[in-house]
Amino acid sequence: MKHIAIFASGQGTNAQAIIEYFKDHPSITVSLVLTNKPGAGVLQIAHHYKIISAIVSKKALEDEPTMSRLLDALEIDFIVLAGFLQKAPAFLLHKFSRQIVNIHPALLPKFGGKGMYGIKVHEAVLGNHETETGITIHYVNEQYDEGEIILQQRIAIEKTDTPHTLATKVQVLEHEWYPKTIEQVLA
């Protein structure tokens, strides 16, 4: 069995899609939901699916012995970032070399980087008069949103689109593609 940890800071709709997808999977299971936000919606999702959750401070996240103890105890092989607002520390990138992936709600390398999160991304896309947007799933490296791209999916932007309609359309793509891309990467 491959054991996945999902790191998320927000609502957790991607976490939910991933948990659902792997619920009865023969070789992949979600074993941990980790957040840095005590009130994050993703915690309720973990509770609902009876998945172990952990709330970690920035200090704990950056403490190698603490994180190694937690991840080793649950035999975590692979880390999925799903709206996680903190940078993965260098020791995690080493320990999980090419075993950490992220999703971004735009077509990287455009509209990425620090602070580019959620609705801000869609506002920037529309503000730049783009004709298309989409999702990017990529490996994680030391820089925000800069690791090797695994998959992109595109959608056309309509004249009537707003940041909120784009967010909804992009979220549909995320939920469809993130789980199966993780499955392919782990195969």
Sites of contact with ligand GAR (CB under 6 A): 8, 10-15, 82-83, 103-105, 116-118, 121, 145, 174
Select 11 or 29, whichever has its Cβ closest to ligand GAR: 11
* Alpha helices (H) along the chain: 13-21, 41-48, 58-61, 64-73, 90-95, 119-127, 163-186
Select 20 or 63, whichever has its Cβ closest to ligand GAR: 20
Taking CB atoms, the residue at the shortest distance from ligand GAR is: 83
Select 116 or 186, whichever has its Cβ closest to ligand GAR: 116
Whole-number Å distance between alpha carbons of 55 and 16 = 17
Tokens of 121: 């991304």
Annotated active-site residue 104? The verdict is yes
In the complex, the smallest distance separating the C-beta of residue 94 from ligand GAR, rounded to whole angstroms, is: 22
Instruction: Quote the radius of gyration of the chain (alpha carbons, Å).
Output: 16
In the complex, the smallest distance separating the C-beta of residue 105 from ligand GAR, rounded to whole angstroms, is: 4
The residue type found at 89 is: P
